[in-house]
Amino acid sequence: MSYRLNSIFNKLIFVSVLAFTIFGCKSDIAAGPAAPDFSLKDLSDKTVTLKQYRGSIVVLDFWATWCPPCRAAIPELVAMQEKYRDKKLAVIGISMDDPRKVTNEYLRSFSEKFNINYIILRFDLKVVEDYFGAQAPALPTLYIIDRDGQVRDKLVGFDPDALQSAVERLLK
């Protein structure tokens, strides 16, 4: 009898996690606070701040090379960067890869392989805390930041329609 309850319990957990993943990843969370500024290194060891992008719409993508949904988002982000560059849209990828295991050289190679045309930065604990608080970050998570530096949308998981819609609302 105990085995049967344990099996049912495990199935309920599996279904709950699956439902959260499917429905939770597609949620559009309304926002509005100022996006926390950051000072992070790019793959050439150059310091980049969010403040440098004031006046542009920013798609801030927290991602990792080992994350399948993150990889699936890359072609959409590349296309978006290309399509809206002249309208002052900037895609910024913040790699959540462990720098002890994933070097800048590997990230540059990865970037070339996937034709990434936007800037990639390395995370630090401060940016993770500023954007996720005490919660563990879900990957990918995209913050859509308006020209005034306000967070307008937060997309957890990859939903190309939600991303397109969030950006187009700000381009109007």
Write out the chain's pLDDT in tens, 172 residues.
444 434 443 443 433 333 333 334 433 334 479 999 999 999 999 999 999 999 999 999 999 999 999 999 999 999 999 999 999 999 999 999 999 999 999 999 999 999 999 999 999 999 999 999 999 999 999 999 999 999 999 999 999 999 999 999 999 8
Does 70 qualify as catalytic in the annotation?
A: yes
Which token pair is 110?
Answer: 């990865």
Catalytic residue among 35, 43, 58, 70: 70
Write down the CATH number for the domain with range 29-171: 3.40.30.10
Cα–Cα dist 76/68, whole Å: 14
Q: What is the pLDDT of residue 5?
A: 38
Cα separations (Å) of 169 from 45, 163, 165? 34, 10, 6
Cα–Cα dist 41/99, whole Å: 12
Which token pair is 29?
Answer: 């969370």
Question: What pTM value is reported for the model?
Answer: 0.81
Which token pair is 158?
Answer: 């990859």
CA 84 to chain CA mean position, Å: 18
Peptide bond into 140 cis (omega under 30): yes
Q: Spell out the residues 6+ positions from residue 124 whose beta carbon is closer than 8 angstroms to its own.
A: 38, 40
Residue 58 pairs in a beta bridge with: 90, 145
Q: What is the pLDDT of residue 63?
A: 98
